Structure 1
Amino acid sequence: MRMIRDVLRLRFEAGLSERHAARSLGVPRTTVQDYCARFGASGLTWPLAAALTDGALEQALFTRAIVPAPAGRPLPDWAQIAQEKKRKGVTLLLLWQEYRQREPTGYSYSQFAERYRQWRDTIDPVMRQEYVAGERLFVDYAGLTVDLVDAATGEIREAQIFVAALGASNYTFAEATWTQSLPDWIASHVRMLEFFGGVPALLIPDNLKAAVTYASYYAPEINATYAEFATHYGTAVLPTRVAAPRDKAKVETAVQIVERELLAPLRHHRFTSLAELNAALRERLERLNDRPFQKLPGTRRSLFEATDRPALRPLPATRYEYAEWRTAKVNIDYHIAVEKHCYSVPYSLVRATVDVRLTGTMCEILHQGQRVAAHVRRASAGGYSTDPAHRPKSHTRHLEWTPSRLVHWGESIGVATGAVVAHLLEHKPHPEQGYRACLGLLSLGKRFGDARLEAAAQRAQATGAMTYRSLHSILKLGLDHTPPDAIEPTTHLPATHDNVRGAGYYAESAAPADTTSLSLFVGVD
């Protein structure tokens, strides 16, 4: 590492303080302190030997030499110790006690622990975390994408690569999806847990929008759908810190391996569908999980079977059904608007804020965690889904709003406004469904003034367009300044005219044509 040599040069050759050296190199002061302390303990002197490379310098400062075991003191199998330590509840002290039972003349606990740390550092010099079996599952997307070609049109579309890795065994899962959006994110999680055959205690995602709606180390806000998914499977979501890749080092490594060993070898292949791409990925994924470790015995699969699989919680009896969550406020007509369609709730919840759960087929409405209504999900905009049980017992007593009160309010502005309000209430299957339009007229009166609203109502009466949208358009365009008498009457065309053929014309045309007429069209003499 060039940085180590620069730190040593500024400290021992330039004579800078730790603070100034750190500021000059743009690194924390603690880093300078650590490098200098390691340099002093290594036995090296400044200036460094010309033949000492950066790699050799790093190894001298960061790799501990393993002290050879004295004769007569057998060393334990450190790889087996490391594997056992991943099991829940197993500590290094317990493993040492079992070691001393087998080897009464073995090492003391302090020597046992020190030699284990020395061995561990030779496996991974920067290893800082040890993961309990079945506890943590890390998830992320790869940085690389794969091009898929539409066989019919030749259009190229990028597929995203979802990657997951278990903390204790490194057992890896990968698949391709079209997007990183919430539906694909949840669907990948469902297939991932079925691939592992169980559920971990914690899911560790990055702070992407599909997982976290508000990123915070102390109080992150998990996406409502993702949180419901976690509740369904009996697990919890623990996002990483923002811009802290070491919090998810397992999946970062897994992503790198997937990119190098799954995606890179497939770069020359031409895929035309997600299914085709996922089949190729699954084949290479099996090889990856069955490949022996370089420095440890076994494979990802064998380690998974021995450690993670027994510790995973069982899958629930049913798959999670994807659902989106919204919030809505109940209007005075005891309906909420969701995707431009209105769904009813019990009238006692007027003006309350409710949670809405949307699945592919249902719209569920919850208040304070309790389901208060359920409707078949409708795609039609502007329609109403009303449960008769949600209506008040009498339409004439609906809290403080009643049809008569609305009409009385309209008449207080003017006769024409009262007539429009009555028309809106009368031309709905239920009067409450006209409440929204009446409230719209109330807002127009506040915005444009009662005088203009009455003038617009008069014009709407004259034209026969007695709707909220019509009055809003009249006021917005200033047409209310034109008296109703000035409106030009609609001209109706006469029922009979030379250019109107009438039904008799078509009856004559339906008669069979003679051969002479046909010969003119086909060119026959």
Structure 2
Amino acid sequence: MPRQRIDVEKIREILRLHQELKFSVRKIANALQISKTSVGEYLAEFKRSGLSYYDITQMSDTEVVCVFEKSNKSANPMYEELAKEFPTYEKELARVGVTLYLLWEEYKERNPDGFSYSRFCHHYRMWENKLKPGMHIEHKAGDLLYVDFTGKKMHYIDPKTGEIHDVEIFVTIMGASQLIYVEATKSQKLEDWIWANENAWIYYGGVPRGICPDNLKSAVSEACKYEPLLNDTYYDLARHYNTVILPTRPSRPKDKSLVENAVRLVYQRIFAKLRNQTFFSLSELNEAIWEELENLNNTPFQRREISRRELFNEIEKNELMPLPAERYEIKHFQVSKVEFNHHIYLKEDKHYYSAPYQYTGKMVKTIYTSRMVEIFSDNIRVALHKRNRKKYDYTTVKEHMPANHQFVKGWNTDRFIKWASQMGGSVETFIELLLESKQHPQQAFKSCMGVLNLGKKYKVEDLEKVCMNAIEYNAISFRFIKNSLKNNIHKMEQEDPADLKLPLHENIRGKDNYK
């Protein structure tokens, strides 16, 4: 059977989980929702490559593909011989006292050069899972944190306006100790979601190895039973904290039972306790929530003489990974095409940022924070800018622009001027002024294209007249030309004001009425 094809980002994640988090093959497969066979084969190819994990992190996507995209291996005769025994092993394991270890010992007696115990178990489990697909969920200390929002909301009142503000309630629960964290947030939007996740990890004093969110849009861009598509920012947050996101599977109550139980407790122990109180700010509401939360976490479990807090301190606290030195700075992601003027367009700010002219026409990934904008091609950063929120403006690095004599995709200043000259002298002069109005001529290419294309929609003589007016009024912009043609301003100016007489009407009084 051919190996399951996966994208480069997932290959990188396989190596990160294996090298940095020391995840097993099974755990990586569960985390990334791919087959254990594929994980094992990629790790084997990585080992055979002789490269270090650091080497892979420094490679472009294309180079990584060259390392890992190799032909499928031919079938292993030793495995085929072992697989013939699996139906017998299944029956043997149903007998009292028979274990896989015992079966492996007997197998090694017959095949001294056979598989190791771990590979023996791996191959059997793979065969077994094909017959009985499923996933057993265990809760090991420090392993998983389940996160979600409650279905019901709380609120506070604005003391100045009396307006009621509904708020979302964020809930997390540790898998082993079941220690709960709760926080009220203004919304379920990405920024609030990221902040609340970080606050939870700070509350626990460390980071679990995996985070299990429900399939809400803040965490998962596209819900899928087998391979949910993670929100890019949430995925990046996990990398910052050196953990991994494991979305719960839609329509699988077993995945969600723990956090749903936490939500039920929050309703009973926090919502109900605070139902008769009035709050006048989000911070005031959270203070009350956290007070009741401590009561909940310090109350012993039913039928057990230990609380969530005590159990957490005893078995789970020391199993968490350390927090990083700094909190995560939220990043946003956008896939863009470098336009013919050598810039990408950042939709959120309606602003243009330059990329090296060699990337014109190529698709690139833009990653931006509150301060910086980075442009990547093939996983290599090709441009870095300070973020500028001025609409329809350009941020340009001089070195990104081609030399005047160079033709990039056939577009340069000479071509625009020649095109304009075919429409008329005023159009040509206007295009020259438009190109000169920018620090870099390429910044005006898009506007030049827009003006000249108006010659296809309107009469060329009308465009010539409007450009003449624009030059006279020093209104050198595409918008002036477009609006003038749209509103027929040039035609109105051609009319003689003396001919614009008021119509006769019985309600219009003559000058004699004012004597």
TM-score interval, smaller chain: 0.5 to 0.7
| Distance in 2, Cα, partners of 1:208 & 1:370 | 31
In structure 2, what is the equivalent of residue 121 of structure 1? Answer: none
In structure 2, what is the equivalent of residue 436 of structure 1? Answer: 446
CA drift of 1:486 comes to 4.3
In structure 2, what is the equivalent of residue 395 of structure 1? Answer: 404
| Distance in 2, Cα, partners of 1:379 & 1:409 | 33
In structure 2, what is the equivalent of residue 161 of structure 1? Answer: 169
Q: Secondary structure at the match of 2:273?
A: helix
1:90-109 aligned at under 5 Å gives the runs none
CA contact (8 A) 2:149 2:171 kept: yes
In structure 1, what is the equivalent of residue 371 of structure 2? Answer: 361
Indicate how the Cα distance of structure 1 residues 415 and 300 shifts in structure 2: closer, same or farther if over 3 A, else same: same
In structure 2, what is the equivalent of residue 76 of structure 1? Answer: none
Indicate how the Cα distance of structure 1 residues 344 and 193 shifts in structure 2: closer, same or farther if over 3 A, else same: same
CA contact (8 A) 2:226 2:249 kept: no
Q: Which runs of 5+ in 2 are unaligned?
A: 1-96, 100-135, 499-515
TM-score by length of 1: 0.64
Q: Secondary structure at the match of 1:139?
A: strand
CA contact (8 A) 2:345 2:351 kept: yes
CA contact (8 A) 1:462 1:484 kept: no
Q: Secondary structure at the match of 1:285?
A: helix
1:301 corresponds to which of 306, 309, 312: 309
In structure 1, what is the equivalent of residue 213 of structure 2? Answer: 205
Matched, 1:310 2:292: no
Indicate how the Cα distance of structure 1 residues 283 and 433 shifts in structure 2: closer, same or farther if over 3 A, else same: same
User: 2:357 corresponds to which letter in structure 1?
Assistant: Y
**Farther off after superposition, 199-208 or 225-234:** 199-208
1:51-90 aligned at under 5 Å gives the runs none
Matched, 1:370 2:377: no
CA contact (8 A) 1:396 1:403 kept: no
Q: Which runs of 5+ in 1 are unaligned?
A: 1-91, 95-127, 490-525
Indicate how the Cα distance of structure 1 residues 206 and 473 shifts in structure 2: closer, same or farther if over 3 A, else same: same
Indicate how the Cα distance of structure 1 residues 483 and 160 shifts in structure 2: closer, same or farther if over 3 A, else same: closer
Matched, 1:248 2:256: yes
In structure 2, what is the equivalent of residue 186 of structure 1? Answer: 194
CA drift of 1:270 comes to 1.4
- Count of equivalent residues: 364
CA drift of 1:414 comes to 3.0
User: 1:377 corresponds to which letter in structure 2?
Assistant: R
Over the matched positions of the two proteins, sequence identity in percent amounts to 38
User: 2:436 corresponds to which letter in structure 1?
Assistant: E
CA drift of 1:172 comes to 0.5
CA contact (8 A) 1:323 1:357 kept: yes
1:459-498 aligned at under 5 Å gives the runs 460-461=470-471, 465-478=475-488, 482=491, 485-486=494-495
1:460-495, Cα deviation, whole Å (9 max, x unpaired) = 456654421122223333556x39754769xxxxxx
CA drift of 1:289 comes to 1.2
| Distance in 2, Cα, partners of 1:405 & 1:259 | 69
| Distance in 1, Cα, partners of 2:494 & 2:458 | 22
Indicate how the Cα distance of structure 1 residues 347 and 160 shifts in structure 2: closer, same or farther if over 3 A, else same: same
CA drift of 1:139 comes to 0.5
1:105-504 aligned at under 5 Å gives the runs 129-338=137-346, 339-392=349-402, 394-399=403-408, 400-448=410-458, 453-454=463-464, 456-458=466-468, 460-461=470-471, 465-478=475-488, 482=491, 485-486=494-495
Indicate how the Cα distance of structure 1 residues 335 and 483 shifts in structure 2: closer, same or farther if over 3 A, else same: same
Indicate how the Cα distance of structure 1 residues 447 and 219 shifts in structure 2: closer, same or farther if over 3 A, else same: farther
| Distance in 1, Cα, partners of 2:192 & 2:400 | 36
CA drift of 1:181 comes to 0.5
| Distance in 2, Cα, partners of 1:200 & 1:252 | 19
CA contact (8 A) 1:459 1:484 kept: no
| Distance in 2, Cα, partners of 1:193 & 1:422 | 58
CA drift of 1:203 comes to 1.2
CA drift of 1:386 comes to 2.1
User: 2:360 corresponds to which letter in structure 1?
Assistant: V
| Distance in 1, Cα, partners of 2:492 & 2:361 | 39
Indicate how the Cα distance of structure 1 residues 466 and 387 shifts in structure 2: closer, same or farther if over 3 A, else same: closer
Q: Secondary structure at the match of 2:237?
A: helix
CA drift of 1:193 comes to 0.9
Indicate how the Cα distance of structure 1 residues 376 and 463 shifts in structure 2: closer, same or farther if over 3 A, else same: closer
Q: Secondary structure at the match of 1:151?
A: coil
CA drift of 1:453 comes to 4.2
TM-score by length of 2: 0.65
Indicate how the Cα distance of structure 1 residues 134 and 395 shifts in structure 2: closer, same or farther if over 3 A, else same: same
User: 2:384 corresponds to which letter in structure 1?
Assistant: A
1:366-410, Cα deviation, whole Å (9 max, x unpaired) = 222222222222232233322233233x23425222211110011
CA contact (8 A) 2:398 2:440 kept: no
CA drift of 1:459 comes to 5.5
| Distance in 2, Cα, partners of 1:450 & 1:147 | 61
